[in-house]
Amino acid sequence: TESYVGLHLPRQLTAAVVIISNVWLLFPLQGELHVSKLFHHPSILPYKSIFIAENELWVITPFMAYGSARDLICTHFSDGMSELTIACILLGMLKALEYIHHMGYVHRSVKASHVLISADGQVCMSGLRSIFSLIRNGQRAKMVHDFPQYSVKVLPWLSPEVLQQNLQGYDFRSDIYSLGITACELANGHVPFKDMPATQMLLEKLNGTVPCLLDTTTIPPEELSLKPSRSAADSGICEGPRAGGPRHSNGEPSSSSGGHPYNRTFSPQFHHFVELCLQRDPENRPSATTLIGHPFFKQIKRRPSEALPELLQPVSPITCFESSGPQDSVSGLASLESGFSHLEVDDWDF
């Protein structure tokens, strides 16, 4: 599989081009390509065109100039994003999941690398390769008993009920658990359970171990007083918020002079949002529609797409061509491709 940036000459629009020549990759893409024709929502990455050229499958999508949320964590926000930034991203994810669940599907691959952000701040969900339909023989099934076939890289995000693979099955609420893990990923800068063997991860989840946001209310004071290190908090698992102590709504470090990377305090609303998503019993997890109305999102005072470009500073998107001449467009494309090559695109699912 090869990824490129292309220019649609008639409309001078930049697009992402994925060329697939490996026939073994075509089968897992079939479901994704089929679903892409059914879904029409501003928070889901659309497929502009799909065609075959010289035994290669070409997939054309809009170019998301900020890359994925995971790219941003790796390159600029290694200790996590601000709370307001996360709120804008999670709201876009919830709107996508609300639509996907309403259409009768379970996403099954919700994580930061499948959240893409355009130059104008639009949040789009991708990663539909593992999506699964609840519609069977014209009726909507209550549960899914299928284990995601391509799930090795997504294990830390999967819910307990998906991992245990029993007769009780799972439904759309498994995506809500994955959303909670993604919230921790965006806030902490790394994925809970990431360093655990798969068997231990399964046992931890089945036993009710709940990841949390790492801040002054969840990390013991004696650890916060140590030199900057994430070694004790790498798992992203803790006992839960401590009683007392002030919480600030922005999620930024309380001091700019250094110290522990998690010497910050997230709002009670953010902690509560994550706790709701990560309930061990899926029956207790709210739907995407319910979560959209959570008080956590009241801190968003304007349209998220307008706020995100400012919140992501000093990161700047890979911009389109500034010049309008045909010759300059060629050099502009070369510059754009050069910038695009530095993004981590291996885990993108277009």
69-311 has which fold?
A: Transferase(Phosphotransferase); domain 1 (1.10.510)
Are 219 and 262 in contact by the 8 Å Cβ rule? The answer is yes
- Per-residue confidence (pLDDT) for residue 186, from 0 to 100: 98
pLDDT of 54-65, one tens digit each? 778 888 889 999
pLDDT for 233 equals 54
Q: What is the 3-state secondary structure (H, E, C) of 12-41?
A: CEEEEEEEECCHHHHHHHHHHHHHHHHCCC
Task: Please give the single-letter amino acid code of residue 58.
Answer: W
This prediction has a pTM of 0.83
Cβ of 283: how many Cβ atoms within 10 Å?
Answer: 7
Which range among 53-62, 83-92, 279-288 shows the weakest confidence by mean pLDDT?
Answer: 53-62
116 or 254, which is more confident? 116
Q: Is the pLDDT of residue 98 over 80?
A: yes
Separation of CA 198 from chain center: 21
The percentage of residues in the chain with a pLDDT greater than 70, rounded to a whole number, is 79
Mean pLDDT confidence for 67-86: 96
Q: Which helix (H) or strand (E) holds 184?
A: helix 173-188
What fold characterizes domain 2-65+316-340? Phosphorylase Kinase; domain 1 (3.30.200)
Rounded CA-CA distance 70/185 in Å is: 9
List, by residue range, all CATH 3.30.200.20 domains of the chain: 2-65+316-340
Q: Who wins on pLDDT, 70 or 10?
A: 70
pLDDT digits (tens, 9 = 90+) for 211-235: 999 999 999 888 877 755 554 455 6
304 upstream amide cis, omega within 30 of 0: no
Q: Identify which has the larger pLDDT, 39 or 57.
A: 39
* CATH 1.10.510.10 domain position(s) in the chain: 69-311
